[in-house]
Structures are given as C-alpha cells and as structure tokens.
Chain A
Amino acid sequence: MEIPLTISSTQEALKRKKIKAVELVDAYLARINSLNSRLNCFLTVSEESAYTKARKVDKLIEDFKEKAFDDYPLLGTCVSYKDLFLTEGIRTTAGSKVLESFVPAYSATYVDRVNKAGGITLGKTNCDAWAHGASGENSDFGPTKNPWNLDYVPGGSSSGSAASVASNLTLWASGTDTGGSIRQPANFCGVVGFKPTYGAVSRYGVVAMASSLDSMGHFTKCVDDAERIFNVTKGEDGKDGTVKNAKFTMPNARLRLGIPEEYFIGGIDKEVEENVRKAAKVFESEGIELVKVSLPHTKYAISVYYIIQPAEVSSNLGRYDGIRYGNQRESFGEEAKRRIMLGTYVLSAGYYDAYYLKAMQVRSKIIQDFEMAFKKVDLIIAPVSPTPAFKLGQKASDPLQMYLADILTVAGNLAGIPGLALPSGFTKAGLPLGFQLLGPRFSEYVLFELGKLYERAVDYKPNVREI
C-alpha cells in the first residue's frame, strides 16, 4: 500500500474507501518498527490507543460518510507529538530523565483539540531535553538522526518530529518553537515547519521552556496541511491567558516581500544564500514585489535571547522537585543545568539590571525593527539557518557555537511573530535547503497563501526519504 502524503489525499482515500484508518496505522507502525532503531525519532509508540482510535474513525466514516469529514476536520490523520505535549495516559518525558516515567493525568489543549478533530496519535517524539538545543543531541534518550544522512543532525529541538515527518513515520507531527525549534529542524529535514504568532495557540499542558517565547506549531509535508491543522489548534481555551481570538490579517491582491539585508551578511553558507535568493526570484516571477528592508538590531537577537530564555527556563524548571511527579533535580542533564545556572545568574541580585532588564529593552528595539519593516512589506523572506544540517558531534562540545546556530530564528520569537519554513531543494551533498517567511502578528493566512503560491510555482511535491 502506498501511504498518502498529505491530509487532503489521506482523507480522499478514506472517503473513497480505498483505505481504512486501521490500515494506515498498520502502515505507519510497520515503518516505525523497521526504521526507528536507526533514526531514534520515537520515544514512545502508542500502538494500542492508535488502533482503538482508528477503529472509531473507520466506524464514523462508515456511519456518516463524507459528512464525518466536515465534523472532524483532521479525521484519520496520524500524528506524533513532540514529547513536551502532555498526553493523558501516554508517557511524556520532555526528552529528560527527570520525567522518564511520567504519565500525565490530562492532555494539552493542542492534543485535546486534535483528538476531538479526529486525529490518531501514533506516539511521542524525541527532542532535546526540555527543548534546549538546536541539534537533538541534548536528548537524555540519545540523538535523533537526520533521515537524509544518518551522520548529520536533524536540527532541534523538535528533532524527532521533523525527522519522523521527513521519513514518513507519521503524516504530521507537533512541535514547539521557542527560538527556532520548529523552523530549523524543518529546514534541516526538508519538510514544512510552521510557528504561529505567540498568543495564537494555547500552551496549556505543554512542558514550559521560556514562557514569553514558546509557541505551539507543527511539521507537515505541505502548506495546506499546516493551515488545516492551525484551523483546529488556534484560539482561546480559557486556560492560557496569553491566547486571544485574534482578527487575522488576510492576503491582499498585491503583496510585497521584504529581503532583510542583515540576514545575508557574514557566515552564511553560499548554497543556503543562493537558494533563498532563488526562492525570492520565484516570488518575483509570480508578480510579488521584492523590497529591501533593514532590521538593524538583528545582530543582538542572540544575546537578548540567551539572557531572556535561560532566565525563564531557570524559573520554569524550578518546579521539578521530584515530590509530586518525576525524579529529583540530580536527574537534570548537562544542558538543562547549564541553562538553569545561566538564567539564575542573570536574574540574581546585582545582575538583573545589567542583563535581564537590558535584554528586555533591546527586545523592544528588535520589535520596533519588525514594525518598521512591516510598514513597507507584507512578509519577509530569509534563510532559516546559516548552514545546512551539520554533523553529529560537530558543535556538541562548545555551547556558544551551538547557541549561534539559532541566529536567524530567535528574532521572530522575541517579536512574537509567526513564521513558515519551506523546503526548496538540496545541497550538492544531498542535504535539504529551505527558507522562512515571517509576517506581522496574526498574519498566518498571508504566510499560508504565499507558501501555497510558492509550492504551485515550483510544482512542489513532498520529499519522503527512504532509508
């Protein structure tokens, strides 16, 4: 059986009785069983509950035919969740030994909504512990491998989610993006990665990393899927006070795309840069005006991020005391300890003004940069990472070098704006290339529109890596 690669083709096959949901689960589990030992994408596979749900899905389709798909927009879609999303009754580790045997008593709003929309949970994916990392190597359960070359990292921190979509161990996967943790692994694995506006999707029930930056998004094989899932996950739930039912910007007939010069200076890999410029040309040939914009405080984004983020991390990880659930603080891995230490230091007496307050002020300058730019353009196009995927171990011994891998993604998180990472070809060595689109807050539907336009223009087909 050939597994359909998108939500629309999956649901079409289910409608036409070409396939049953139970058979889809069979097919994905067969792939997981044969490939996961080499890729290390999944930490937990929830086989039994997947089959239970698949039988329910088949029954719904039998009883209600096409109408079932109107009531359940994600009906029959198999999903894997980054192991930061609480799943009632299914172990949730956050990639850390602290939560090695933690089974949550409730599910995240995101998970709940996908369940109610007809999604079938296949399992939980590997990630850098507590989402701390840009390579997947900080997982306490071993690194995930890049399906395109097993000697390379898949990016992080949502490493297993990205790699599981790229190798078709699942139709789609959830992720969290605090400093690039969806867009960067999507870029390294050649799949679509979507980060919503901060405040568009509830964070309730997702293990918190840095609370003013965390956003809940997903990995898919095309932009249409990203939009369909966002339609289910967005909006107030009464449990996360930062979420609002926003009025979304809708696409204009005439769109302008900004090219920020600061994203192309120094240290950018040549193949990465050429590829992004080529993608910009594709938009231009589709009638979109390209405009140069400037985001002068971009160079400070990493410093701001590596003050604010560890500060919030140190506070969020304070709750892990091993009393109500989980193991004690001795079980924290090295990177978690490093960030707790760094965050505690910048917040400690005598240093707050010099580091934390200063970072919050420069954060305001970064936001102003984007506001100025978005007066001139609708969206911005930029590289996601200065380089394609790097080798396992290459940056593992130097945390500062690893932190710098986030240089092109963190500004988006600091400004709370949405981003869409799209695949756009391969390096000569066969590693995925791509670019990101960034827009003002709540411009998700403009991002999707432009993403779909790009896919049509280049006659995009999802790439599944067979190993």
Chain B
Amino acid sequence: MKLTKKDVLHVAKLAKLSLSPSEISTFEKQLSDVVSYVSELSEVDTRDVEPTSQTTGLTNVFREDSEEGESLSTEKALSGTEKIHNNYFVVPQVITKEK
C-alpha cells in the first residue's frame, strides 16, 4: 500500500493541518510504511465477527434531565483566551462576502 503526495495533501486538508514540503515527503513514506504494515489484518478471517467499539458493555448511560451540579462561570470559561468580545469567543471569519 503506497500513499501518493496527492493522498497526503488531501488528508492534511481534511485534518486542517498545513504541512511543509519536507513533511509532505516524509509522511508520504512513513504513512505508507505504517499502512502497509497494518494491512496484514486482511489475512484474519472476520466473517460474522461483530466489531468492538468499546469494552464496557454499557449502552446509553443517562442522567436525570434536571438542572444539577456546578458549571463553569463565564469568567472561567473564557479564561483560556484573550480574544473575547462582549463575553463571547471571537472566531475567525468563515464566510466571505460575495464580490
């Protein structure tokens, strides 16, 4: 299994990572190595085997639908950033005006 430069760029875009040209070529090789290695799983017979996504055996854990417990104060919730406006987080612009 070999990843191409195009694959690496596509995945980087999905993951919102900007890679340098040297990272792109390093990852091309390293990710290909790892993906080739893990492809050995194709030899395991998994017909009729249920997939495991978690091991607790629990399903749908609920709590009472009530106002309870403590929550963070506005001040605490905003304490991680200086980019605040009227007690809101300031986010980068994602919609551009049509010209």
Contact = CB atoms under 8 A, between A and B. Distances in A.
Interface in A353-410: 354-355, 357-365, 367, 399-400, 403
Given A212-B53, A363-B52, A416-B56, A341 B81 contact: no
B31 A358 contact: no
Contacts of B17: 329, 332, 337, 340-341
Interface residues of B, number: 50
Contacts of A357: 51
A338 B30 contact: yes
Nearest to A330: B18
A198 B27 contact: no
A6 B5 CA distance: 54
Interface string A232-262: 0000001001101000000000000000000
Main secondary structure of the interface of A (DSSP, over half): helix
B95 to A, nearest CB: 16
A241 B12 contact: no
Contact of A361 (B8, B50, B91): B50
Between A105, A238, A304, the greatest number of chain B beta carbons within 10 A of the residue's beta carbon is seen for A105
Contacts of B23: 334, 337
Given A199-B55, A212-B53, A341-B31, A358 B46 contact: yes
A341 B27 contact: yes
B14 A105 contact: no
A103 interface: yes
A103 B79 contact: yes
B15 A358 contact: no
Contact of A400 (B8, B18, B37, B72): B37
B14 to A, nearest CB: 5
A388 B68 CA distance: 50
A275 interface: no
Between A318, A341, A344, the greatest number of chain B beta carbons within 10 A of the residue's beta carbon is seen for A341
A265 B72 CA distance: 52
A303 B38 contact: yes
A361 B49 contact: yes
Given A212-B53, A364-B52, A358 B34 contact: no
A142 interface: no
Interface string B52-94: 1111101001010000010010001101110100000111100
A338 B31 contact: yes
Given A102-B80, A360-B51, A304 B18 contact: no
A306 interface: yes
A323 interface: yes
A72 interface: no
Nearest to B44: A362
A303 B41 contact: yes
A307 interface: yes
B46 A242 contact: no
A438 interface: no
A285 B50 CA distance: 42
A326 B79 CA distance: 11
A403 B90 CA distance: 39
A342 B31 contact: yes
A345 B35 contact: yes
A307 to B, nearest CB: 5
19 contacts: A105-B72, A199-B55, A199-B58, A212-B53, A300-B40, A323-B92, A329-B17, A337-B17, A341-B12, A341-B17, A345-B31, A354-B42, A355-B38, A358-B46, A399-B30, A400-B30, A400-B37, A416-B54, A416-B56
Given A198-B55, A323-B83, A364-B51, 13 more contacts: A105-B72, A212-B53, A300-B40, A307-B41, A329-B18, A330-B18, A341-B17, A344-B14, A345-B11, A361-B46, A362-B44, A363-B51, A364-B49
